[in-house]
């Protein structure tokens, strides 16, 4: 009997016990499977150049794409504002999915409501659902603001949020002057990064429309969709405080997705105060930390006469330098010595470890700004980015990244793949292997299939805990990224030579 | 059914219900009050001594907008539950990218095979609809996708098309595409109309998925099959964390052969061969009773419900199953029950003293809110409240056989209600889903995910019961719950 009360075996080991190995072998006899040799033959073929060509020739099928849909980004963005409840207009299952998805990554509560539209609403439109839904949400969850976005169902039938919300206000669902910003977020356009942009813009439009800007010298900062937002936004604030900059972070989820365990459940915590959002129209500039998460929002800010600037996820030495220089220029504040020291320490750490980093080859996938940032940092360490893939990356992104690669001898062999998915990446890794893979938890299937060690530095991370609580932005964040990469390299070195008397010649104490 | 009888303060639970209802606008209050109740003892039916309670609530009704229902949709019921685990088919999430993304690898339907080669469960395969597909329709694209699947996944036994919301709204004819492509390749191609806006929850998705198996899979092929008198199917076991394997081992030990396991770790062949079995054993009644009724009517395969959660239910179920096959199997069942009794005794000796008297609130899908009750009671724990996301009336009737007088019953509970009930009752453990996990734990109340077994499992069978007991113990008796209050904060 494999099980015992003294040493309870769960799935991780139970099914390796002989009773279960035999059971599964018996089961396979009735499964009608192809012969093992055939399976092996096809498995080998999927890793061939021939398969790669066929794989890249597909035009319609999408397999393991590294992107989610717009409303996820909208729900994430809305969570970054003071006491704000996301209200997603359309089918209810979608909202269950966004909440689960964000909770699985952050290991935190995630609240959002649905207007629960069903067949009748598909025929007659969802106005009544909006009217009832807003009234219920307002009464039940006491939000300070309800941010409305849409599922693809509501988009396909053409529900008009602006008129629906104004209708609901007329019917008394919420007070006339109550804040109900909205954004149409069709899932069949763009990805979660698009939804982020649309929702931030929707919220700004709600508060800024018709206002005239009086420059108050402050700087608006839009962090973008970021699984590391908890650590990153706090690091961002620390840096800006050190510099003495007057700033407004527009959508700050760092407290919302990191509430303490002290006996109280906080449905809302932190977030950008609504008064700050209102006043942010008067900023000198709006700066996006992720260009591909904010094109429309930046245009909108520019229409008020604000200066705008955007970055690609300020990670690593150059990425952080560039960000600080720009902030210094916009704010007129000098970059303090403390930050210069941090910079020096990061460079020092890279120098100390460069022997293990130089010439390492990488595949990187994820959201466009992250992939750009990560490739840039890899180049700084003497690593060679080879396969750079963003399912939600566009042509402009690809060109920009190609320019970056061309700027360094270490980027010579790098190739950029916009719009491709992780099944494409599998072919790339099988035919042109690399030393390390950087991405999110979905990369673990590539790690298994292609034997390439995975480093998790991108949303979503489901199978490792709490990484998001530490920053990857700034020089301090760069240090963390560096250590994460190095740990993987050293662990792999040790693992590959850890059998006593067999392959442990290089099982070195000091490295 | 349990050894220990207990009841709850029904009046207190009634007050809790009244309090939460006060928070709603009038119209919503009227709708929600029908879904909340307290179990009341009812007189045994004539000629029986069967003690049961009445768990009278309205169910399977549209959720109220804006209240934070925990429910999902028909797509989740079809792709996520019924079809997704069938391992040697490719399941296309047909429509925009999100649905397939969020449900990717999240149900832990374990399977054996080489993923991407002969099995495809933990893959996100989608038509990734763009605006032009909405405008011009997606049928041409779907045809092309099916061709491309044939090239890249030649060992796939078939394809299912899992419709997302837009498909039904833009008038695509996925049935026509399926027929055409089936004619070309001879492969099983199944169109599933599980658009998320259909019905009121996951439940209609289960039903639609069952109907599609009936209409597009069964009786289509003549596989070589050697029947035995001891052939059964396990229906409605999705092999979460290996549940179906921990069940199968027992069924084999008592001398039965499992032809098809629906649908955890299933192959298309297993599904096709199922009507040739002698008996359907159904675990998740809610999601698969439809196909059992069909096989009974069409193929003459009788069905029975069973329950492999916890030793008292396992013993009763093994005996009931064995009875259908006569003395030889019955004798073996007794041998198996005796064989595992020392394990059960050891588990209870170790864990029951740590769990005795602990109060549990459940809120799960369509089966477990009743099916796991005795497993907790075997450990000396008490169910103080329970409810379903997507149960129907017949589920609440069955619930009466499991829960005690005064148990709080909540159907399609809202986030607000559940939080207030938990705060009011302060149970020792809540068993629900990922969305409920963290809010509950913030309150200092231990929690286990009872959809995914919180990344543990299996929980079925004797092997699973040991894990179940361990997990409930570790959740409740972890020292972290004692760390919540900072020592410098005076106790209020």
pLDDT, average across residues A488-497: 96
Asked if residue B182 has pLDDT above 60, the reply is: yes
Is A288's pLDDT higher than 50? yes
Tell me: pLDDT of A389 over 70.
yes
Q: B-contacting residues of A 330-349, CB under 8 Å?
A: none
CATH class of A349-496: alpha beta
Q: How confident is the model at residue A171 (pLDDT cuts 50, 70, 90)?
A: very high
Helix (H, G, I), strand (E, B) or coil at B355: helix
Q: What does the pLDDT look like over B107-162, one tens digit per residue?
A: 999 999 999 999 999 999 999 999 999 999 999 999 999 999 999 999 999 999 99
Omega prior to B368 cis, within 30 of 0: no
CB A248 within 8 A of CB A274: no
pLDDT for res B394: 96
Query: Mean pLDDT throughout A206-216?
Result: 98
A371 an active-site residue? Answer: no
Does pTM surpass 0.80?
Answer: yes
Q: What mean pLDDT comes out for the span B205-213?
A: 98
Q: Is A21 on the interface with B (CB under 8 A)?
A: no
**Stretch (H or E) spanning A146:** strand A145-150
Cβ pair A118:B62 closer than 8 A: yes
CA distance A108 to B36: 28
- From A5, A20, A110, residue closest to B350, measured CB to CB: A5
Helix-then-strand count for chain A, H and E: 21, 13
The rounded distance, in Å, linking the Cα atoms of A373 and A314 is: 7
Whether residues A87 and B66 touch (CB distance < 8 A) is answered with yes
> Which pLDDT belongs to residue B475?
98
User: What is the per-residue pLDDT for B52?
Assistant: 82
Strands (DSSP E) contained in A190-274 are 219-222, 247-249
CA A251 to chain B, closest CA, distance in angstroms equals 22
Among the listed residues A152, A245, A253, A450, the single catalytic one is A152
Indicate the pLDDT class of residue B49, thresholds 50, 70 and 90.
Answer: low
Query: Which of B259, B437, B443 is facing A263, going by the closest CB pair?
Result: B443
Segment B354-369 mean pLDDT: 98
Q: What are the residues whose beta carbons fall under 8 Å from the beta carbon of B47, sequence distance 6 or more?
A: none
Selecting from B73, B419, B485 the residue whose C-beta is nearest the C-beta of A265 gives B419
Asked if A188 lies within 8 A of B130 by C-beta distance, the reply is yes
Terminal alpha carbon distance of chain A: 46
The whole-chain average pLDDT of chain B stands at: 96
Residues of A in contact with B103 (CB under 8 A): 97
Q: How far is A14 from chain B (nearest CA, A)?
A: 9
Token pair for residue B176?
Answer: 């026509």
Nearest CA in chain B to A151: B165
Beta-carbon separation of B106 and A108 below 8 A = no
The tokens describing B205, both together, are 């998705």
Report d(CA A185, CA A202) in Å as an integer: 10
Whether A10 sits inside 8 A of B467 (CB atoms) is yes
Across A171-175, average pLDDT: 98
Closest C-alpha to A313, from A402, A425, A224, A395: A224
Residue range A76-131, pLDDT digits in tens = 999 999 999 999 999 999 999 999 999 999 999 999 999 999 999 999 999 999 99
- Residues of B carrying an active site annotation: 73, 76, 107, 206
Residue B4 has pLDDT above 90, yes or no: no
C-beta atoms of A96 and B116 within 8 A: no
From A132, which residue of chain B is nearest by alpha-carbon distance? B65
Choose from B88, B128, B221, B363 for mutation: most chain A CBs within 10 A.
B128
For A32-42, the pLDDT digits (tens) are: 999 999 999 99
pLDDT at B1 over 50: no
Q: Which residue of A has its CA nearest to B458?
A: A11
CATH level 2 (architecture), domain A70-208: 3-Layer(aba) Sandwich (3.40)
Q: What is the pLDDT of residue B2?
A: 43
Gyration radius (Cα) of chain B, Å: 23
- What's the pLDDT score for residue B3? 43
pLDDT in the model for residue B5: 81
Q: For residue B245, list chain A residues with Cβ-Cβ distance below 8 A.
A: 15, 20, 23-24, 27
Q: Is A412 on the interface with B (CB under 8 A)?
A: no
Give residue B491's pLDDT.
Answer: 60
| Cα separation values, A431 from A52, A437, A441, A450, B120, Å | 8, 14, 22, 10, 22
**Closest-CA distance of chain A to residue B50, Å:** 33
Mean pLDDT computed over A289-317: 98
pLDDT digits (tens, 9 = 90+) for A420-460: 999 999 999 999 999 999 999 999 999 999 999 999 999 99
**Do residue B116 and residue A423 have CB atoms under 8 angstroms apart?**
yes
pLDDT, tens digit, for every residue of B226-276? Answer: 999 999 999 999 999 999 999 999 999 999 999 999 999 999 999 999 999
Question: What residues in B contact A92, CB-CB < 8 Å?
Answer: 63, 69, 71-73, 196
pLDDT higher than threshold 80 for residue A230: yes
B-proximal residues of A, 159-188, CB under 8 Å: 186-188
Helix (H, G, I), strand (E, B) or coil at A106: helix
Q: Which positions ≥6 away from A415 have C-beta within 8 Å? A: A386, A387, A388
Binary contact (A111, B68; C-beta < 8 A): yes
Give start-end residues of each CATH 3.40.50.1980 domain in chain A. 70-208, 219-340, 349-496
**Which residue from B minimizes the CA distance to A121?**
B197
Mean pLDDT rounded to a whole number for chain A: 98
Quote the minimal CA–CA distance from B269 to chain A in Å. Answer: 6
CB within 8 Å: B442 and A264: yes
Whether pLDDT at A24 is above 90: yes
pLDDT the model gives residue B54: 92
Query: Alpha-carbon distance A164 to A184, whole Å?
Result: 12
Are A97 and B71 a contacting pair at CB < 8 A?
Answer: no
Residues of B in contact with A122 (CB under 8 A): 168-169, 197
CATH H superfamily, domain A219-340: Nitrogenase molybdenum iron protein domain (3.40.50.1980)
Sign (positive or negative) of CA dihedral A135, A139, A140, A142 = positive
Contacts of B429 (CB under 8 A, 6+ apart): B358, B359, B360, B361, B381, B445, B446, B447, B448, B472, B475, B476
Distance CA A74, CA B366 (A): 31
CB contact (8 A) between residue B145 and residue A92: no
C-alpha dihedral, A365 to A370 to A371 to A373, nearest 10°: -150
Whether B51 and B35 have beta carbons less than 8 Å apart is answered as no
**Candidate from B196, B270, B439 with C-beta closest to A31:** B270
Q: CA of B49 to nearest chain A CA: how many angstroms apart?
A: 35
Chain B contact set for A449 (CB, 8 A): 115-116
């Amino acid at each position: 009997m494999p099980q015992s009360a003294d040493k309870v075996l769960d799935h991780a080991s139970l099914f390796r016990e002989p009773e279960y190995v035999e059971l599964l072998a018996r089961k396979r006899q009735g499964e009608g499977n192809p012969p093992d040799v055939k399976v092996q033959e096809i498995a080998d073929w999927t890793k061939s150049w021939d398969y790669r060509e066929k794989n890249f020739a597909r035009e319609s099928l999408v397999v393991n794409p590294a992107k989610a849909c717009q409303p996820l980004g909208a729900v994430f963005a809305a969570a970054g504002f003071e006491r704000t409840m996301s209200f997603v207009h359309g089918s209810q299952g979608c909202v269950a999915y966004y909440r689960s998805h964000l909770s699985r990554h952050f290991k935190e509560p995630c609240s959002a409501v649905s207007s629960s539209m069903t067949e009748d609403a598909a025929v007659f439109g969802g106005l009544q659902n909006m009217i009832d839904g807003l009234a219920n949400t307002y009464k039940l969850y006491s939000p300070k603001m309800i941010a409305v976005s849409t599922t693809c169902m509501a988009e396909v039938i053409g529900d008009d949020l602006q008129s629906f919300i104004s209708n609901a206000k007329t019917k008394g669902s919420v007070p006339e002057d109550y804040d109900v910003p909205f954004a149409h977020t069709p899932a069949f356009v763009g990805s979660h990064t698009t939804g982020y942009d649309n929702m931030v813009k929707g919220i700004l439009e709600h508060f800024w429309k018709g206002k005239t800007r009086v420059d108050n010298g402050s700087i608006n900062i839009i962090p973008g969709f970021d699984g590391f937002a908890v650590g990153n936004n706090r690091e961002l604030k620390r840096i800006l405080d050190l510099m003495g900059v007057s700033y407004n972070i527009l959508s700050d989820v760092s407290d919302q997705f990191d509430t303490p365990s002290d006996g109280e459940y906080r449905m809302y915590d932190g977030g950008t105060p609504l008064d700050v959002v209102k006043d942010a129209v008067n900023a000198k500039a709006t700066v996006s930390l992720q260009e591909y998460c904010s094109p429309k929002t930046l245009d909108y800010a520019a229409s008020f006469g604000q200066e705008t600037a955007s970055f690609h996820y300020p990670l690593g030495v150059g990425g952080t330098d560039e960000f600080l220089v720009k902030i210094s220029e916009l704010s007129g504040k000098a970059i303090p010595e403390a930050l210069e020291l941090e910079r020096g320490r990061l460079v020092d750490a890279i120098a100390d470890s460069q022997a293990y980093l130089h010439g390492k080859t990488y595949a990187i996938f994820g959201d466009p700004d992250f992939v750009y940032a990560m490739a840039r940092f890899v180049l700084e360490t003497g690593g060679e980015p080879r396969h750079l893939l963003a399912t939600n990356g566009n042509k402009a992104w690809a060109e920009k990244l190609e320019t970056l690669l061309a700027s360094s001898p270490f980027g010579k062999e790098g190739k950029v793949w916009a719009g491709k998915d992780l099944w494409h990446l599998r072919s790339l890794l099988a035919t042109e292997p690399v030393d390390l893979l950087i991405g999110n938890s979905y990369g673990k299937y590539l790690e298994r299939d292609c034997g390439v060690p995975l480093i998790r530095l991108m949303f979503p991370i489901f199978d490792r805990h709490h990484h998001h609580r530490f920053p990857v932005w700034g020089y301090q964040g760069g240090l963390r990224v560096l250590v994460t990469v190095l740990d993987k390299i050293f662990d792999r070195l040790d693992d590959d030579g850890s059998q006593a008397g067999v392959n442990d010649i290089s099982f070195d104490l000091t490295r | 059914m349990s050894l220990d009888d207990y009841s709850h303060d029904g009046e207190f639970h009634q007050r809790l219900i009244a309090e939460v209802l006060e928070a709603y606008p009038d119209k919503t209050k009227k709708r929600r009050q029908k879904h909340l109740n307290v179990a009341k003892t009812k007189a045994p039916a004539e000629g029986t001594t069967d003690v049961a309670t009445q768990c009278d609530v309205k169910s399977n009704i549209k959720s109220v907008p804006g209240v934070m229902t925990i429910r999902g949709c028909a797509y989740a019921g079809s792709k996520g539950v019924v079809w997704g685990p069938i391992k040697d088919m490719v399941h296309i999430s047909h429509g925009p990218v999100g649905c397939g993304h969020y449900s990717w690898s999240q149900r832990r339907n374990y399977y054996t095979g080489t993923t991407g080669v002969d099995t495809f469960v933990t893959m996100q395969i989608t038509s990734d609809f763009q605006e032009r597909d909405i405008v011009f329709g997606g049928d041409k694209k779907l045809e092309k996708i099916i061709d491309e699947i044939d090239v890249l996944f030649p060992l796939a036994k078939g394809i299912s098309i899992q419709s997302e919301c837009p498909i039904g709204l833009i008038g695509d004819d996925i049935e026509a595409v399926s027929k055409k492509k089936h004619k070309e390749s001879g492969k099983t191609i199944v169109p599933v109309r599980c658009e998320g806006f259909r019905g009121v929850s996951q439940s209609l998705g289960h039903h639609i998925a069952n109907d599609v198996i009936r209409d597009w899979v069964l009786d289509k092929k003549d596989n070589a099959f050697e029947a035995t008198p001891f052939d059964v199917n396990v229906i409605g076991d999705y092999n979460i964390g290996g549940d179906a394997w921990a069940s199968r081992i027992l069924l084999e030990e008592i001398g039965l052969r499992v032809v098809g396991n629906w649908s955890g770790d299933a192959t298309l062949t297993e599904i096709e061969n199922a009507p040739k079995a002698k008996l359907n054993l159904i675990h998740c009644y809610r999601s698969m009773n439809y196909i059992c009724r069909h096989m009974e009517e069409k193929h003459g395969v009788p069905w029975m419900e069973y329950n492999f959660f916890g030793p008292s239910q396992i013993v009763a179920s093994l005996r009931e199953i064995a009875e259908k096959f006569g003395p030889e199997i019955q004798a073996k069942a007794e041998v198996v029950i005796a064989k595992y009794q020392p394990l059960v005794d050891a588990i209870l000796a170790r864990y029951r003293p740590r769990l005795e008297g602990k109060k549990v609130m459940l809120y799960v899908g369509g089966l477990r809110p009743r099916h796991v009750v005795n497993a907790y009671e075997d450990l000396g724990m008490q169910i103080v409240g329970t409810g379903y996301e997507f149960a129907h009336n017949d589920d609440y009737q069955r619930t009466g056989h499991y829960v005690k007088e005064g148990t709080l019953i909540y159907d399609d509970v809202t986030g607000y209600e559940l939080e207030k009930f938990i705060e009011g009752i302060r149970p020792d453990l809540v068993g629900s889903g990922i969305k409920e996990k963290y809010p509950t734990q913030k309150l200092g109340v231990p929690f286990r995910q009872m959809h995914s077994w919180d990344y543990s499992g299996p929980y079925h069978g004797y092997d699973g019961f040991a894990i179940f007991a361990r997990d409930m113990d570790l959740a409740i008796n972890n020292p972290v719950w004692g760390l919540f209050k900072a020592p410098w904060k005076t106790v209020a």
